[in-house]
Amino acid sequence: MRIRDSERADSKEIGRLYFDPYGPGLVENLDKATADIAASFDGENGELWLEASPVALIDGDIVDVLMTVVETPWERTPEGPFIIELFIDSAFRSMGIARCLMEHALDIMESPDWSDT
């Protein structure tokens, strides 16, 4: 497993992780799921903190993603960093991958200069 920062170019793979477990229902189709993820990269849910939004790759495929914004645009949410999404491929659940991404993101958020992002 390899962990790296997420990138806008990952939108389609992350969109698949978003769409696959729910199918039509939560989101209409894979294209809409991909568009929703791209909108997050574009700041629709607050400024995406790429360093605190890691993806986990196995054999070059994204199998897990955690998306964090520096601050949400919504009322009645805590100030500061906020995790907006956590998706994992169902074939890789219960393997501790999400925990690794959470620990990675928390290490970034706890760094003394996080407010410089």
Region 20-25 average pLDDT: 76
pLDDT in tens, 34-55: 999 999 999 999 999 999 999 9
43-58 CB burial, b ≥16 within 10 A, e <16: eebbebbbbbbbbbbe
Flag whether the pTM goes above 0.75: yes
Region 17-44 average pLDDT: 88
pLDDT number for residue 117: 47
pLDDT in tens, 58-117: 999 999 999 999 988 888 888 889 999 999 999 999 999 999 999 999 999 887 665 554
How many other C-beta atoms are found inside a 10 Å radius of the C-beta of residue 109? Answer: 17
Name 61's Cβ contacts closer than 8 Å, sequence gap at least 6: 13, 89
pLDDT number for residue 73: 86
pLDDT number for residue 21: 79
Q: In the CATH hierarchy, which top-level class contains the domain 2-116?
A: alpha beta
Three-class DSSP category at 3:
strand
Give the CA-trace dihedral at 28, 35, 75, 53, to 10 degrees: 120
pLDDT number for residue 112: 66
Domains in the chain: boundaries: 2-116
